[in-house]
Amino acid sequence: MLRIKDFQISQGQHWCLFGSNGAGKTLLANLLAGKRIESGNYVQYAAEFDPERDIHIVSFEEQQRLWQRDNRLDISEYSADAQDPGTLAQELIQSSRPADQHDDRLLVELITTLDLAAVAAKGIRFLSSGQVRRVLLGRALYAQQPQAPQLLILDDPLESIDIDSQKRIASCIENFLHDGFSSLQLCRRASDILPGVTHMAVMADLQMLCQGSYTKVASSDEFKHFLTSNPVLPEKIPAKIPAEQSVVTAKQSLIRLEHVDASYGELQVLDDISWCMEDDHHVLIEGPNGCGKSTLLSLIDGENHKGYGQEVYLFGRRKGSGETVWEVKAHFGVVSNELHNKYVKGWKVLDVVVSGFYDSVGLYDDSGAAEWEVARQWLQVLGIASFEKSYYHEISFGQQRLVLLARAMVKHPRVLILDEPCVGLDDYHRELILGMLDLIAQQTATQIVYVSHVLGEQPACINQKLLFVKSKRGGYTLSQI
C-alpha cells in the first residue's frame, strides 16, 4: 500500500508533502499520526512525544468525521425548542488544550485573525465548509505551546476558503511556522505551497520519489514533472440511456426565483433573491464563505423545505404545486460537500455511480446492464476506472470528488449543480474536470450551475455570472455581473 524507505520530521522543520490525487499523502500522514494499525510497526516518536496529544490535523476527512459525529449525536427532535447546536465553533477550538491551560488572549487573537467572530457561538453543523476549515485551523494553532514538541498536519489548508480570506489565513499560518514546533502540509498544487516551508518531499504511486530542503526539491525533475502534465480529453462523453421520465421542454426558464428569502431562527441568510436561469445559460456563482450559496442550491434541487411557499419556479412549474421531491431530483445532478459527507462506509465506487440514476445515497434499486455499462464509461473518461471495485471511503478525497461527478452525470441531468467540484483535486484533475464540463455543455442538453471560490477556476462555457453581496436588511442577496 505504501513504499517509504525512510522519512523523518525534526522539531522546527516545516515540510510540504507534494503529490497528485492518490499519491499516498494522506495515507502517509495517517501513518505518522498513529491512525493506522501499521503505525506501531513503522513509526517511532521522540520519548516525550504523544501522537494522540501532540498531533493536530486540518483536513476534509477530519471535517467529515466531525460532521458525521455531530449529526449522529443530534438530539434536536427531543428538545423543547427542536434545536441542538451540537459542537460550538469556539468549543472545538479550545478542545485542543486541557481546560486548565486555556489561553483567552490566544483564543481571541485566532478568532479575530481567522474571521470567526460571527460564528464562534454557532454549531459546526450549521457552518459552511470553508468556515469549518477555519475553525479546524484555529483548533490546531490554539494547541501550539512554547517548548512543547508538536506536529501540525495541514491537508490543503486553503481549500474551500474564499478569496478574501486566503491571504489572511496564509499569513496567520506563516506567523506560527517557527522553530518551536513542526508542520506537515499535504499539497496537490504548486501554487498552494505555504510560505515558511523549509523541506519538501514528492510522492507518486504510493512511494516517495525525492525529499530534502525545499530549495533543492523545488528544482528537481520529479517536482517539475507535475507542472507539465496535461490531461487528454475524450472525443465524446458517454451516451445517455433513453429514459421514460418527462422531458423538460426547451425555450422556457429552467430556474426562476422572485424575491426569495431564507432564514434560520433570527438569522437571515438569503434576502430578496431574484434570478432567472434560461435554457441556454451556464451559470457561475461566487461569494464569501457562509453567504448562503449552498442554501440557495438546496432551495432549488428539492433538499430544503424553505423553498416551498415562495416564488420558486423549476422548469416552468412553481415548486410545491403537486410534484414529488423525486420528480424534482430527476432533473438535477449534484456534486456538493453535503452529498460528499452523506456517503459513509460500505459502498463500492461503482455502486455510488449507479446510484445517480436513482438520486439515492447508495444503491437500493434493481439496475440494468445498460446502467452499469454507462457508469463504467464515466469512470473510464474520468481516469478512475481502476477504482470500480474499491470502497468509496478508502480512496482519496479528490478521487471521491471525481466519483461524485460521474454519479451526477450518468443520467444526463437537465441541470448539473456543482458546489466547488474541484475541491481536493490537483491541477491535472482540475483541468480534466473543467474540460469535461465544457464537453458536457457542447454535447448534451445539460446546463451547468458552477460554484467556486477560486479566481479563474471555471469552465469556458460560463455565460452568466452571479455574485453574493451583503443585503442592507441582513444576510446576502444576488447581483448579476
Condensed to tens digits (0 to 9), the pLDDT of residues 410-441 reads 999 999 999 888 888 888 888 999 999 999 99
157 has pLDDT over 50: yes
145 has pLDDT over 90: no
Q: What is the 3-state secondary structure (H, E, C) of the chain?
A: CCECCCCCCCCCCEEEEECCCCCCHHHHHHHHCCCCCCHHHHCCCCCCCCHHHHEEEECHHHHHHHHHHHHHCCCHHHCCCCCCCCCEHHHHHHCCCCHHHCCHHHHHHHHHHCCCCCCCCCEHHHCCHHHHHHHHHHHHHHCCCCCCCCEEEEECCCCCCCHHHHHHHHHHHHHHCCCCCEEEEEECCHHHCCCCCCEEEEEECCEEEEEEEHHHHHCCHHHHHHHHCCCCCCCCCCCCCCCCCCCCCCCCCCEEEEEEEEEECCEEEEEEEEEEECCCCCEEEECCCCCCHHHHHHHHHCCCHHHCCCEEEECCEECCCCCCHHHHHCCEEEECHHHHHHCCCCCEHHHHHHHHHCCCCCCCCCCCHHHHHHHHHHHHHCCCHHHCCCEHHHCCHHHHHHHHHHHHHCCCCCEEEEECCCCCCCHHHHHHHHHHHHHHHHHCCCEEEEECCCCCCCCCCCCEEEEEEECCCCCEEEEEC
Q: Report the topology of domain 255-480.
A: Rossmann fold (3.40.50)
DSSP 8-state symbol, 307: G
Range of weakest confidence among 183-187, 382-386, 477-481:
477-481
Residue 273 is which amino acid? I
Check if the beta carbon of residue 56 is closer than 8 Å to that of residue 154.
no
Residue 44's closest CA among 9, 96, 3? 9
Per domain, the residue ranges of the chain are: 14-228, 255-480
Per-residue pLDDT, averaged over 231-256, amounts to 75
Sign of CA dihedral 365, 370, 372, 378: negative
> What pLDDT does 82 receive?
46
Strand partners, 213: 199
12 has pLDDT over 60: yes
Check if the beta carbon of residue 121 is closer than 8 Å to that of residue 109.
no
Average model confidence (pLDDT) for the chain? 86
Distance separating alpha carbons of residues 422 and 436, to the nearest angstrom: 12
403 has pLDDT over 60: yes
Range of weakest confidence among 24-33, 369-378, 418-427:
418-427
Overall size of the chain counted in residues:
481
**Percent of the residues in the chain that have a pLDDT greater than 70, as a whole number:** 92
Q: How many CB atoms lie within 10 A of CB 247?
A: 11
> What pLDDT does 146 receive?
64
Residue 285's closest CA among 415, 409, 174, 100? 415
Confidence of residue 13 (pLDDT cuts 50, 70, 90): very high
What is the Cβ-side half-sphere exposure of residue 29, based on CA atoms within 13 angstroms?
31
Residue 375 is which amino acid? A
366 has pLDDT over 70: no
Distance separating alpha carbons of residues 101 and 96, to the nearest angstrom: 10
Distance separating alpha carbons of residues 235 and 355, to the nearest angstrom: 26
DSSP 8-state symbol, 318: E
182 has pLDDT over 80: yes
> What pLDDT does 246 receive?
47
250 has pLDDT over 60: no
Per-residue pLDDT, averaged over 35-45, amounts to 94
> What pLDDT does 453 receive?
76
> What pLDDT does 316 receive?
87
* CA distance between the termini of the chain: 48
Q: β-strand 14-18 against 199-204: which pairing, if any? A: parallel
pLDDT in tens, 44-86: 999 888 998 889 888 888 888 888 787 776 655 445 444 567 8
Residue whose entry in the numeric block shows the C-alpha cell 525534526? 10
> What pLDDT does 202 receive?
97
Per-residue pLDDT, averaged over 334-357, amounts to 84
pTM: 0.81
Cα 10 versus chain centre, distance: 31
The residue ranking higher by pLDDT, 244 or 262, is 262
Distance separating alpha carbons of residues 69 and 86, to the nearest angstrom: 9
For the segment(s) 14-228, the CATH number from 3.40.50.300, 3.40.50.970, 3.10.20.600, 1.10.1040.10 is 3.40.50.300
- Same topology between domain 14-228 and domain 255-480: yes
pLDDT in tens, 291-343: 888 889 888 886 678 878 889 999 888 988 888 878 888 899 998 877 877 77
167 has pLDDT over 50: yes
- From the CA atom positions of the chain, what is the Rg in Å? 23
> What pLDDT does 365 receive?
65
Strands (E), 124-173: 151-155
